[in-house]
């Protein structure tokens, strides 16, 4: 399937979200027309895949810069693994160890569904991940379409969500939400609307997830828990999810305002390394 105006070859990856774009070498400078066509495809498909890429750090950052201002990492330097790569724009997602210390972040196994940086008042818009070393099995990344996660709710639930906000809080773990019964000041956190209007597409998306959303504000705990459990139903709805099986050289870019993602488990004895950067965002509103 070819976009006749730009020549982009765009192929949907699933019924829920995602498209592969073929025929673009991301290590080469992108002309503005191609970048604009990719941006449009991104807003339509939420997750874009480019296979068989060969990218240096600079290439990856230059590509991301076509879509916004490249972001810097959110984890404080004092909380990063020793020996990690300190280029502030680049983060390695890796379980590889050097001298006994992880060289990157998010090393191990399964990771629950989350929106990147929803605990920040101006969540980064997009994440760009490039596959450099992959395990023999697993370590797939799952993406959920959060427009569709909102659309599937009953009219009654949609009406109930109006005006609600939620506490988003994160401690850089992969399979547990922060215990908020104690002092939460030490954790990155903020309050966000439970649904957001995407600043570019104008479409409404559900903006809660099991890893980072700890409670609905101004609601008794049991009610908040029950509502969140209902909203988290999207994680089990296969019709909303695309599961990406990585190949070396894959680049995925995803929109954090209208999707969330998770990772499947993989053998701890296998090496996995992906190179990541983001582009900055803005405050989100209902």
Q: What is the DSSP string of 25-79?
A: -TTSPPPHHHHHHHHHHHHHHSEEEE-S----HHHHHHHHHTTSPBP---S-GGG
In angstroms, give the least distance from the CB of 58 to ligand OGA: 20
CA–CA dist 143, 263 (Å, integer): 9
Residues 247 to 276 in contact with Mn ion, rule: CB under 5 A: none
Q: Quick one: which of 14, 34, 127, 192 contacts ligand OGA (CB under 6 A)?
A: 127
Considering beta carbons, is residue 136 or 157 the nearer one to ligand OGA? 136
What mask, x for binding Mn ion by CB under 5 A, covers residues 112 to 141?
A: ----x-------------------------
Q: How many residues bind ligand OGA (CB under 6 A)?
A: 11
Query: Of 4-12, 93-101, 109-117, 148-156, which segment contacts Mn ion by CB under 5 A?
Result: 109-117
Q: Tell me if 70 contacts ligand OGA by CB under 6 A.
A: no
Considering beta carbons, is residue 116 or 250 the nearer one to Mn ion? 116
Residues ≥6 apart with Cβ < 8 Å to 257: 115, 123, 125, 196, 198, 199, 205, 207, 281, 284
In b/e form, how buried is each residue of 184-215, taking b as 16+ CB within 10 angstroms?
A: eeebbbbebbbbbbbeeeeebbbbbbbbbbbb
Q: With contact defined as beta carbons under 8 Å apart, do 219 and 228 qualify?
A: no
CA–CA dist 193, 215 (Å, integer): 12
Q: Which does 263 bind (CB under 5 to 8 A by kind): ligand OGA, Mn ion, none?
A: ligand OGA
Q: Tell me if 103 contacts ligand OGA by CB under 6 A.
A: no
Q: With contact defined as beta carbons under 8 Å apart, do 116 and 256 qualify?
A: yes
Q: Which does 213 bind (CB under 5 to 8 A by kind): ligand OGA, Mn ion, none?
A: none
Q: Quick one: which of 129, 134, 144, 211 contacts ligand OGA (CB under 6 A)?
A: 129
What mask, x for binding ligand OGA by CB under 6 A, covers residues 30 to 69?
A: ----------------------------------------
Q: Which does 253 bind (CB under 5 to 8 A by kind): ligand OGA, Mn ion, none?
A: none
Q: How many CB atoms lie within 10 A of CB 51?
A: 14
Binding site for ligand OGA (CB under 6 A): 93, 106, 111, 116, 127, 129, 141, 261, 263, 274, 276
């Amino acid at each position: 399937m070819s976009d006749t105006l730009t020549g982009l070859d765009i192929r949907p990856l699933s019924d829920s979200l995602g498209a592969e774009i073929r025929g673009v070498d991301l290590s080469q400078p992108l002309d503005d027309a191609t970048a604009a066509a990719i941006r449009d495809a991104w807003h339509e498909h939420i997750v874009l895949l480019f296979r068989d890429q060969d990218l240096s750090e600079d290439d990856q950052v230059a590509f991301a810069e076509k879509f916004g201002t490249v972001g810097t990492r959110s984890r404080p330097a004092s909380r990063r693994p020793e020996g990690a790569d300190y280029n502030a724009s680049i983060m390695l997602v890796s379980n590889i160890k050097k001298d006994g210390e992880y060289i990157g972040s998010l090393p191990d196994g399964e990771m629950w569904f989350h929106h990147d940086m929803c605990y920040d008042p101006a969540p980064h818009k997009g994440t760009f991940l490039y596959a450099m070393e992959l395990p023999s099995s697993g370590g797939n990344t799952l993406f959920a379409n959060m427009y569709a996660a909102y659309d599937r709710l009953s009219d009654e639930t949609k009406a109930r969500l109006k005006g609600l906000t939620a506490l988003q809080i994160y401690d850089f773990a992969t399979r547990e939400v922060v215990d908020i019964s104690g002092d939460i000041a030490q954790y990155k956190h903020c309050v966000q609307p439970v649904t957001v209007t995407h600043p570019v597409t104008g479409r409404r998306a559900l903006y809660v997830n099991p890893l980072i959303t700890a409670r609905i504000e101004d609601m008794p705990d049991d009610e908040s828990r029950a509502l969140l459990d209902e909203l988290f139903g999207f994680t089990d709805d296969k019709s909303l999810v695309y599961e990406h099986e990585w190949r070396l050289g894959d680049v995925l870019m995803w929109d954090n305002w209208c999707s969330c993602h998770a990772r499947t488990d993989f053998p701890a004895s296998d090496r996995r390394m992906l190179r990541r950067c983001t582009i900055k965002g803005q405050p989100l509103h209902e």
